[in-house]
Amino acid sequence: MTIYNLYNHQVDIDFDHSEEFLEKSLESINERLGTSTTHGYFDTPQGKLHYCKFLPSDGDTKQPKGVIVFQHGIQGHCSVGINISDEKDAPGNYTNMILLSRKATAAGYAVYSFDMLGHGISEGKRFYIPEAGNWKVNRDHLETFAKFAHQDCASASSSTDSDVPLFLMGESYGGTLVLHVARMWQDDPENAPSNSSFKGIVLNAPAIVGDIPPKIITWFLKDVLAPRYPTTVPFFMPHPITPDRIWENEKVRNHNTSESEQMLGMQGSGKRFCLGTATGLVDALEEVRNQVIPGFNVPFCVSHGTDDLGVKVEGTEYLLEHSVTSDSDRKVRMIEGARHDLMSDTNTKDETVDSLLSWVDSRL
């Protein structure tokens, strides 16, 4: 690992880049994100985690309508997004975090998002769920960050009201973690940010039912190899979701799988999981189905593509069937023909973000 000085923090990142290369890469990312982005780090027992926050233009003088805390998926990071306009001077046609942050702040919301351990420019071994697949570390980081963001959002404005409405949002594995944290707060409301401020969750293609190998292979990887070699990637390890199953837009797909993006190492699209990470994912999904969703009654908005071949739409159907959230507190969008990455889908990305923000508005 290498020590870098980033955003006034000394951080030990699992990179071998020169400081100059990393700074240029981050400059390019920040140009895409826009000037309203604020970066920081927060401490956890497993390492320092990087975060971005986006405030409305009057966010330094007026409390936002609410704060959306976003959790990326297992191979992403909190700064994902590009402009897919074909013409150089065309108006912005943004994806992912750029799209979400711009639309949300324009609607009066603050958005906070952090790089999971081992992702983006957070510390930790790249794309490894630590402690041999202890996914609860990721869950606890999300809970800690959500509470931090909730308090920071109020202190960032001139308001002293700490009850700014709070929403958790996650995509893919991030959606799994959001479900886990929301169920913790449902079962122990005294541990939530406050009894009145947590308003619900937003899920994009939540990982509830995964595309996993046959049981005999899963057993061998999970119970035989993973405990002994958690950071190893065997040559026979199945591929995760392939790029063509994630991104409908060719420009997005080419960007995320480009040599420069792969060399940068902030996101791991198309790379095989190490054994510890694969084990952690299997365990997190099993527990969300068996212990979180049955009896789940937190308000939610969920979107899922019918052509999502990596994180099956059956997972959202399972949520709808087994949760007890009332019909008036749930919003469901099954998007015909959409793949996994809904906030980069050319045909529906704007509608997806507009729809979830409309639901967030309704919870106020």
Q: How many other CB atoms sit within 10 Å of the CB of residue 240?
A: 22
Mean pLDDT over the full length of the chain: 89
Structure tokens at 239: 């591929």
pLDDT digits (tens, 9 = 90+) for 163-212: 899 999 999 999 999 999 999 999 999 888 876 799 999 999 999 997 76
Task: Read off the pLDDT of residues 117-169 as tens digits, 9 standing for 90 and up.
Answer: 999 999 999 999 988 889 999 999 999 999 999 999 877 665 555 689 999 99
Report pLDDT digits (tens) over 35-61.
Answer: 779 999 999 999 999 999 999 987 666
Which of these CATH numbers, 3.40.50.1820, 3.90.850.10, 3.40.30.10, 2.70.98.10, describes 2-362? 3.40.50.1820
Angle CA 161–163–168, to nearest 5: 135
Q: What percent of the chain has pLDDT over 90?
A: 63
Contact 81, 99 (CB under 8 A): yes
Query: Does position 255 have pLDDT exceeding 80, yes or no?
Result: yes
pLDDT over 70 (residue 213): no
pLDDT band for 223, please (50, 70, 90 cuts). confident
> What does the pLDDT look like over 278-289, one tens digit per residue?
889 999 999 999
Burial 62-71 (b: 16+ CB within 10 A, else e): ebbbbbbbbb
Q: What percent of the chain has pLDDT over 70?
A: 91
The domain ranges of the chain are 2-362
Task: Render pLDDT for 331-346 as a digit per residue (tens, 0 to 9).
Answer: 999 999 999 999 999 9
